Structure 1
Amino acid sequence: MGCGSGSEDTTTVDDDIQQPKQNTAAKITGDITATVTEPNDITVNRQLTIDDPDEGEAQFTVVPATASQYGTYEVSASGNWIYELDRTNADVKALSLGQTITDTFQISSVDGTKVTINIKINGAENQQTNHAATFSGDSAVSINQNHSQAVSGKLTVSDIDTGEDAVQVQTNVSTTYGQFSIDSSGNWNYQLNVSKPEISNLTDGNQLYEDIYIYSVDGTASAISIEVKGIASQPSIVTTPDDTVPTINCTQTVNSIYQLESAASFTMTPGETLCLAAGNYTGLDLEFGGVGSADKPITIAAEEPGKVIIGGEVAVAMTGEYVVLQGFVFKDGTIDNTIIQTRANSSTPCNYCRITENAIIDMDEGLTDSTKWLYIYGAYNRIDHNWFAGKTTRGALLAIDRYKPDGVDIKDMEVDHAIIDHNYFGDRPPVNGQAYAASSDNEYEAIRIGTSDSHMGDSYSQVKYNYFERIQGEAEVISNKSGNNTISHNTIRDSYGSIVTRHGEYATINNNFIFGDDHPFSGGIRIVDGNHTVVNNYVQGARYQNSNWNGGIVLTSSNGSTSNGYQDVENVLVAHNTIVDSVNSLNVFGGKESTKADSVYFVNNLIANAIGAVVKNANDMPSNSTFSNNTVYGQSLADNGASSISGLTFSDPQLELASDNLYRPSSNSSYLDADTNVAIGNFTLPTHDMDGQSRSSTNLVGADTSSNDSVTMAPLTASQVGPKSYRPAYSKGYVKKVMISNHDFDTGDTSGWTNNGAQITSDTQDVFSRGASIKLDSVNANIEQNVYIQANTYYTFSAFIKGIGRLSVVVDGQTYSTDVNNSNYQFTSVSFHSGSATQATLRAVMDDTVKQKANILNANFDNKQTDWQVYEGSGIGQVQDSSNSASGADGSIKFKYDSTKGDNGTPHDPYIAQEIDVLANTDYTLSMYVLEKSNKDAQVKYGVYTTDIANILASHIADVSQLGDAPKGDDSFRQTTLTFNSGTNTKLTVFAQYQGDGSEIRVDDFSLTYDGSPIAGDVALFDSLRLVSHTQAAN
């Protein structure tokens, strides 16, 4: 075409073709700068926000942990970014005070919009200050006494100071019980000297410890804790049911806590297994769940069980169905309230969920508030093959929640059906670093199933095949507070307390092994509420002598309460149990309430070698009950002096200690055949014994029958429970026993001791336990033994003492001692701090200056007001009996003023009095215990008078509000004392007189003592000496 002046070139656009959409840059605001200061303030956590009108672009590009010039950073899709300074970086370490450097990195939105983050890094305040090293790795090991092979481990030292990531070398160093070496890289080995008497003489259930101190090159100290356990000569090892764990098949593996928390969600899919790679991590806040299935659960796990170790603050919450948490180690960290709970996502519970192969060790660092390590909500959850050790704070370690919201009928609450099996529970120490828990300490149990307010509902939970040792925080190891639970095949050792059906009916308690291991407050089984089955249990060594709550088997008195009181013990089967070497072997009226047990079937039980009377509170035997075919034997039959009780045959069964350290019938045993035809209501007797052997051919009383069948059940050991894929570390330990050679004189001689005139007694009236005790009958007689101790450590030395004994320990030239003057064996202890000493001398002697007691009749009001003169009447208040007691027995005196009942006179001063014989011109100490039971102040005037109360020789007004630091008895009684000289008097009257208006107060346990010398016939008896270390000074 030719071009002319009139021509026009045009372009045609098709309106149906969409033009490319232009991107709108994101607008990013928020934190783009931060400052860190070496060496402490080195981590920052900041937030960016994003505004982008383009669909789907209002988010950031995720950046996992990535190195920058001087540190690492990571970024989430929501704009949260974290920066951590690398303190080992040479440029960072070179910074001086006042110097700064800057680190930068970029964060991008998904559409490519970028911002630069600037981190200002300040030099340390004093680069000349040495930074303490930190240690991680193998810091504790537990071995048996016959372990002749060397054990080894590795500690890793981290230190930001150049050249200090190393350990001071130790080569073939002799330790208390062996030999130790460690190289500069932290590789260590320990060889136990199995020939040492302290090691070879260890008995089953006892252990000793030594802490071996190691040092980094800058002098930072740490310790490797060695535990050596005594074992039975031929331990029975059996296979337990359901002793398997899931195989971990990771579908995704992440390498940081941030990545794990980001990848977890509440919508995870069936069969998904999210794993965290092996390593040491700090802090975890994990919530996850979804709806899995039995064959395709949703799992978050350690890629290698036992090799993911997380410290710092930890919280895990699970929800959904068929959700699993597996293989993590939570150690040396802290928590807010709960470590693991089966509830998340708006408090939605987890059902059919599983917590398995996890270890929680020493996770209460720096905490004083109440916590729970595991809180289980939902139904059909399983907690198995875990390792729990070192919980120090109040609150049940593992709690099955049955909290009842207001307005909810208990019958409408979900039934739990929880299973707790094959777990290790260890080192639950007394609160506040003490050696022994106080009788009032509560909520320090290992397991609690339910709550007081919902106990009338059923849980149908099972606690089975678990191993407990050193659960020493309170009087309940397992606390049952709901209906229809089973507690079976568990082993409890060296623990303070019992298996307790605190609330709830229809519990089954069977085939449990409970060993006191000479813990002075160990228990057995305490029964509250009705319709329980208690069979085939073996209890050896219950020891809480002065308590009305603990013993071999305790039937608790009741008040019929339906809430937090003590429900009636009724319609209970107690059959085929064995109780050996125990105080209060059968307590038929435990606690402090007024109603005794009813409709108890106590049949075919065996009680042997009872310490003291077999039956405690024999005046209150259960009503409408069947006691039949029980063989019992001890120092006496009953505490009321009865020579016979129907259904109890008082005869020595001649048990012998078998090779597995269990007391069993011997060839010398008397007639022990069980009665299989006794009427026991709707109950049935067990068909197998504690060993799993059939009772069909030969059926004996007690937990053990005679059979050639294979043994399928036996006491568990720590090695049979816990994770299957790895062996966790033990807790660092809070209460540790120190080895005392021949501490219980079971050898029948004084071997291991330096003997200065002491003798072994086997007289049944003198012996405390197992046939032999030490007897001193002269002020010049004593026994002593040197032991190794740790420097700068708190210790408590204790024994059971009868007569006029003194227990003392000499440390670095200083003597610590305590005196006893008692006609019965009494637990006695003395505490001390070791200072720089590494040895101590333990001594048992007869006291050369004796606290003699004046004869006050019925001083603890066991027989109510008998032997006391009582002055009361209309207008001057009242004197009443009370079930509260300062010393465990049931009884005290209550003073009360009540204007609604005619008490309107003045000065409202009822009193009690008793005349006693005294020595003239002698210094006396009068003491009593008082308890105020109302909010108003009340006082008691007490003392001694000559002819009548108008002629008082000495008196004191006890004000309960001023006795907060005074010695404490049971039921929160406090002791008050008064000293005086008798003058020329040979008779005085002890009195206590109420002082108050509109209140009430109780008094108990009067004592009048004076110093004198031992007289002919005085003796001191000692048994079960024990030395433990603990973490704080004794109260």
Structure 2
Amino acid sequence: MSTKLYSLLVLLFVMPASITAATITVTSLAALQTAINNAVPGDIIILSNGTYTASTDITVNKQGTATSPITIQAQSIGGATIGGTNGFNIVSPARYIIIKGFRFTHSASQATMASGTSFCRWTRNIFQTPGTGENLLLNGNDHEVDYNTFQHKNALGRFIAVRGSGSQIAQRLHIHHNYFFDQQPQSGNGAETVQFGLSGLSLSSSNSIIEYNLFEECEGENEMISIKASAVTIRYNTIRNCPAQFTLRHGNWCKVYGNYFINTPGIRIFGDDHVIFSNHFENCSPAINIGNGDGEVANGDALTVHDRPDRCLIAFNTLVNNPANITQSGRTNGLGATNTTVANNIVQGGGAAASIAGPYTGAVWSGNIIYQTNGAGSMPSGGYTSVNPLLARNGTGTFHLQSGSPAIGTATGSYAAVTVDMDGQNRTSPFDKGADETSAAAVTAQILSTSMVGHNAGGQQACVPVSASADDGNVPGNVLDNDLNTRWSASGDGQWIQFCLSNAATVTGVQIAFYNGTSRTSTFDILTSSDGVGWTNSALGRVSSGTSLNPETFNISATTAKYVRIVGHGNSINAWNSYTEVRILSNATLAARVENEAGASSVLLNSFPNPFRNTGTVTYQLEKDGPVQLSLLDITGRQVRVLVNAQAKAGIHRLTFNAAQLPAGVYWLKFVHNGRTVTKQVVKADR
């Protein structure tokens, strides 16, 4: 064979491998199915924007690879709607498939994944599938479900249901940064928001992670998240304004930490060897409900019983203003719980610290702090101290320890399972009591807002306009309210207040108005950062004049930054750092102070009356159809109400919102539509 012919044959042999992967755009479901049937690793199949009606399954059984997945996506996020009676059906042996950017309005139970599938991903989709059944059914292993919006469910069934094969639950799933919103109550059983497993699967270990998800207004039934499997980690989720309860219903060895429970029934625990730590509970009734078992699986009782909780650890949680704190309800012939450890929790305000009605054999109570509760209740005297833990709400909306707190470094016992706090910071010995570990490490978890999760999220931690290391009740948002009569205050050398700009910009200095600025001088540093993790000392040892209550200007060398931190070193009289107003000198605005972002606030978004008292009316105009998110934020940029989260038609829209339970003050309406953001300041007047 000649060298030339040999070379040609080699070329013909290798050419297909180099040209097979392609980007294919289709304009019909039939063409989409054909492209899927012919897909090879690395293909990107794009369905053009539009509305499509599926009457048969869109079946996927192809295999991509870890480095060259097969991607099936909408032309733009939310731009391609698939309605009808059928949807995507991913079947064995499919693997490394990505489903991205679709709006699903087809019948429920039509987005499915079969046993034998693996390494598939659902991302940036909107699930609003009517009728009885699941919005998304997961079988198989190693799947990922991230940055999706699940919304407006008013029928039996779940937003997500996880199953398995035989007696083995699906393994190594990663469910994160999803938004679960508006699940209406049903009269029957089987309407959890997320049901992870079944009783027959409960003794199999999943080793899956559910994290950084936001749940709001979900009340399909009494159980919102129902875990019926073993070895599931549930962390850093926010559960807010959900009348249903998170339940460890069946299974063992689950970890629940770093979650934020706000105005919800909290967590109920059945099963063995669970660890519940570093969670933040506020206005929950109850916060932590230790189940009263009616059976013991380890002794041969059926997997369907309420398995008696044994050897569970409930430690390092912070509970504030909960009508009921740590509870166990009575049960006729109940087995109660055994060998539960309740240690190093902080319980402040609300009802009795503990109320235990059932058998509670071998319980250990140690190192807890209670303060201003309605008594200790069932908590034994040797298991707690009554002392002010010096908690204060910071810019993220959660209660953190202030300098000098008796909780700092005083935790009792040694608990290897407790590794991080509610901010995602590592715990270092000696541990602090409660959910917060005082630390200078980067904060990687906080109360979530809609800008951090769901199909429109940026995929990064949201920019909190102002936050602080601590406060004494004079919160950091006070420095942004244009009122010299309010202030942020924190005592101690090194306490800081931090600002996030809407984008990286040139920063040339700060303006600060100091509390009691005519009777004392204050010393401070100015730090800047591009990411809020690594910091540059832009100015050290600056000192106020001591002669003015008005803002004073402190210039620095021009630097590009997104974050600015002012670190206080007390004042000439005492250790307090206290500022009434702060402005960042920059060509960018603070994240929550943009009144005319996109230059169209007065045209697109209006609210009246303004100021309002208990209710206000919002009007907004859409130039074209698209998704709308409308939220009410407080002065710190913390979301306090979701007003709209839905697809809307072009035209003028009007709605009335109720804010009767909110305190008087300055708020922001944040309006997001088709990639455009507009905010408008509104004021709630005193009654």
Instruction: State the TM-score, normalizing by the size of structure 2.
Output: 0.60
3-state SS, counterpart of residue 321 of structure 1: coil
Q: Is the 8 A contact 2:71 2:100 kept in 1?
A: no
In the superposition, relative to structure 1, how do residues 591 and 260 fare at CA in structure 2: closer, same or farther (>3 Å)? Answer: farther
Distance in 2 (alpha carbons) for counterparts of 1:648 and 1:252? 65
Seq. identity, % = 27
Equivalent AA in structure 1 for residue 63 of structure 2: V
Which of these residues, 390, 400, 415, is aligned with residue 664 of structure 1? 400
- Measure how far apart 1:503 and its partner are: 0.4
In the superposition, relative to structure 1, how do residues 473 and 276 fare at CA in structure 2: closer, same or farther (>3 Å)? Answer: same
Equivalent AA in structure 2 for residue 600 of structure 1: T
Which of these residues, 664, 674, 687, is aligned with residue 419 of structure 2? 687
3-state SS, counterpart of residue 389 of structure 1: strand
Structure 1 counterpart of 2:647: none
Equivalent AA in structure 2 for residue 695 of structure 1: R
In the superposition, relative to structure 1, how do residues 371 and 595 fare at CA in structure 2: closer, same or farther (>3 Å)? Answer: same
Equivalent AA in structure 2 for residue 575 of structure 1: A
- Number of aligned residue pairs: 451
Which of these residues, 210, 217, 234, is aligned with residue 470 of structure 1? 217
Structure 1 counterpart of 2:242: 495
Structure 2 counterpart of 1:578: 318
- Measure how far apart 1:258 and its partner are: 2.5
Distance in 2 (alpha carbons) for counterparts of 1:252 and 1:672? 58
Q: Is the 8 A contact 2:616 2:657 kept in 1?
A: yes
3-state SS, counterpart of residue 30 of structure 2: helix
Which of these residues, 33, 41, 57, is aligned with residue 270 of structure 1? 41
Structure 1 counterpart of 2:308: 568
Q: Is the 8 A contact 1:589 1:620 kept in 2?
A: yes
Which of these residues, 545, 548, 554, is aligned with residue 289 of structure 2? 554
Distance in 2 (alpha carbons) for counterparts of 1:583 and 1:725? 34
Over residues 546-567 of structure 1, what are the superposed CA-to-partner deviations in whole Å (9 max), with x where a residue is unaligned? xxxxx11111000224322200
Structure 2 counterpart of 1:376: 138
Q: Is the 8 A contact 1:394 1:443 kept in 2?
A: yes
Distance in 2 (alpha carbons) for counterparts of 1:672 and 1:288? 54
Task: Find out whether 1:613 has 2:352 as its counterpart.
Answer: yes
Distance in 1 (alpha carbons) for counterparts of 2:364 and 2:44? 56
In the superposition, relative to structure 1, how do residues 603 and 457 fare at CA in structure 2: closer, same or farther (>3 Å)? Answer: same
In the superposition, relative to structure 1, how do residues 530 and 590 fare at CA in structure 2: closer, same or farther (>3 Å)? Answer: farther
Which of these residues, 397, 419, 422, is aligned with residue 174 of structure 2? 419
Q: Is the 8 A contact 1:454 1:482 kept in 2?
A: yes
Q: Is the 8 A contact 1:309 1:328 kept in 2?
A: no
Q: Is the 8 A contact 1:637 1:650 kept in 2?
A: no
3-state SS, counterpart of residue 301 of structure 1: strand
- Measure how far apart 1:639 and its partner are: 4.7
Which structure is larger by alpha-carbon Rg, 1 or 2?
1
3-state SS, counterpart of residue 690 of structure 1: coil
Structure 1 counterpart of 2:381: 645
Distance in 2 (alpha carbons) for counterparts of 1:716 and 1:466? 8
- Measure how far apart 1:476 and its partner are: 2.3
- Measure how far apart 1:263 and its partner are: 3.5
In the superposition, relative to structure 1, how do residues 840 and 282 fare at CA in structure 2: closer, same or farther (>3 Å)? Answer: closer
3-state SS, counterpart of residue 141 of structure 2: coil
Q: CA RMSD in A?
A: 3.3
Equivalent AA in structure 1 for residue 152 of structure 2: G
Structure 2 counterpart of 1:450: 197
In the superposition, relative to structure 1, how do residues 638 and 715 fare at CA in structure 2: closer, same or farther (>3 Å)? Answer: same
Equivalent AA in structure 1 for residue 451 of structure 2: S
Q: Is the 8 A contact 2:334 2:359 kept in 1?
A: no
Over residues 132-184 of structure 1, what are the superposed CA-to-partner deviations in whole Å (9 max), with x where a residue is unaligned? xxxxxxxxxxxxxxxxxxxxxxxxxxxxxxxxxxxxxxxxxxxxxxxxxxxxx
Distance in 2 (alpha carbons) for counterparts of 1:552 and 1:377? 32
Distance in 1 (alpha carbons) for counterparts of 2:458 and 2:256? 31
Over residues 350-409 of structure 1, what are the superposed CA-to-partner deviations in whole Å (9 max), with x where a residue is unaligned? 112111221113x21xx3xx31011111111111121111121111210111364xxxxx
- Measure how far apart 1:298 and its partner are: 2.5
In the superposition, relative to structure 1, how do residues 694 and 487 fare at CA in structure 2: closer, same or farther (>3 Å)? Answer: closer
Q: Is the 8 A contact 1:699 1:706 kept in 2?
A: no
Distance in 2 (alpha carbons) for counterparts of 1:598 and 1:300? 50
Over residues 276-315 of structure 1, what are the superposed CA-to-partner deviations in whole Å (9 max), with x where a residue is unaligned? 1222323363111222221122232223333212333342
Which of these residues, 183, 201, 205, is aligned with residue 428 of structure 1? 183
Structure 2 counterpart of 1:699: 431
In the superposition, relative to structure 1, how do residues 461 and 709 fare at CA in structure 2: closer, same or farther (>3 Å)? Answer: closer
Task: Find out whether 1:598 has 2:338 as its counterpart.
Answer: yes
Distance in 2 (alpha carbons) for counterparts of 1:639 and 1:385? 42
Equivalent AA in structure 1 for residue 134 of structure 2: K
Structure 2 counterpart of 1:387: 149
Distance in 1 (alpha carbons) for counterparts of 2:63 and 2:293? 45
Task: Find out whether 1:310 has 2:82 as its counterpart.
Answer: yes
Structure 1 counterpart of 2:367: 629
Over residues 944-965 of structure 1, what are the superposed CA-to-partner deviations in whole Å (9 max), with x where a residue is unaligned? xxxxxxxxxxxxxxxxxxxxxx
Structure 2 counterpart of 1:56: none
Task: Find out whether 1:531 has 2:273 as its counterpart.
Answer: yes
3-state SS, counterpart of residue 361 of structure 2: coil
Q: Is the 8 A contact 2:79 2:103 kept in 1?
A: no
In the superposition, relative to structure 1, how do residues 271 and 572 fare at CA in structure 2: closer, same or farther (>3 Å)? Answer: same
3-state SS, counterpart of residue 459 of structure 1: strand
- Measure how far apart 1:530 and its partner are: 0.4
| Aligned residue runs from structure 1 range 585-984, under 5 A | 585-589=325-329, 594-609=334-349, 611-617=350-356, 619-620=357-358, 622-639=360-377, 644-667=380-403, 669-670=405-406, 673-678=409-414, 684-696=416-428, 699-723=431-455, 787=615
Equivalent AA in structure 2 for residue 274 of structure 1: I
- Measure how far apart 1:626 and its partner are: 1.6
Q: Is the 8 A contact 2:26 2:48 kept in 1?
A: yes
3-state SS, counterpart of residue 453 of structure 1: helix
| Aligned residue runs from structure 1 range 132-151, under 5 A | none
In the superposition, relative to structure 1, how do residues 287 and 631 fare at CA in structure 2: closer, same or farther (>3 Å)? Answer: same
Task: Find out whether 1:279 has 2:21 as its counterpart.
Answer: no
3-state SS, counterpart of residue 264 of structure 1: helix
Distance in 2 (alpha carbons) for counterparts of 1:696 and 1:321? 44
Q: Is the 8 A contact 1:613 1:634 kept in 2?
A: no
Distance in 2 (alpha carbons) for counterparts of 1:841 and 1:306? 29
- Measure how far apart 1:698 and its partner are: 5.5
Over residues 511-561 of structure 1, what are the superposed CA-to-partner deviations in whole Å (9 max), with x where a residue is unaligned? 111111xxxxx2112111001111111111103xxxxxxx11111000224
Q: Is the 8 A contact 2:411 2:430 kept in 1?
A: no
Q: Is the 8 A contact 1:342 1:375 kept in 2?
A: yes
Distance in 1 (alpha carbons) for counterparts of 2:23 and 2:98? 15
Unaligned runs of 5+ in 2: 1-20, 296-300, 460-474, 476-612, 619-654, 664-687
In the superposition, relative to structure 1, how do residues 283 and 691 fare at CA in structure 2: closer, same or farther (>3 Å)? Answer: same
Structure 1 counterpart of 2:61: 289
Which of these residues, 9, 33, 48, is aligned with residue 261 of structure 1? 33
3-state SS, counterpart of residue 484 of structure 1: strand
Equivalent AA in structure 1 for residue 242 of structure 2: S
Distance in 2 (alpha carbons) for counterparts of 1:723 and 1:788? 28
- Measure how far apart 1:593 and its partner are: 5.9
Structure 1 counterpart of 2:120: 353
Q: Is the 8 A contact 1:631 1:653 kept in 2?
A: yes
Over residues 976-1022 of structure 1, what are the superposed CA-to-partner deviations in whole Å (9 max), with x where a residue is unaligned? xxxxxxxxxxxxxxxxxxxxxxxxxxxxxxxxxxxxxxxxxxxxxx9
Q: Is the 8 A contact 2:113 2:139 kept in 1?
A: yes
- Measure how far apart 1:668 and its partner are: 6.6
Equivalent AA in structure 1 for residue 309 of structure 2: V
Distance in 1 (alpha carbons) for counterparts of 2:659 and 2:425? 45
Q: Is the 8 A contact 1:528 1:568 kept in 2?
A: yes
Distance in 1 (alpha carbons) for counterparts of 2:399 and 2:272? 30
Q: Is the 8 A contact 1:400 1:449 kept in 2?
A: yes
| Aligned residue runs from structure 1 range 180-259, under 5 A | 251-259=23-31
Q: Is the 8 A contact 1:403 1:451 kept in 2?
A: no
In the superposition, relative to structure 1, how do residues 842 and 710 fare at CA in structure 2: closer, same or farther (>3 Å)? Answer: closer
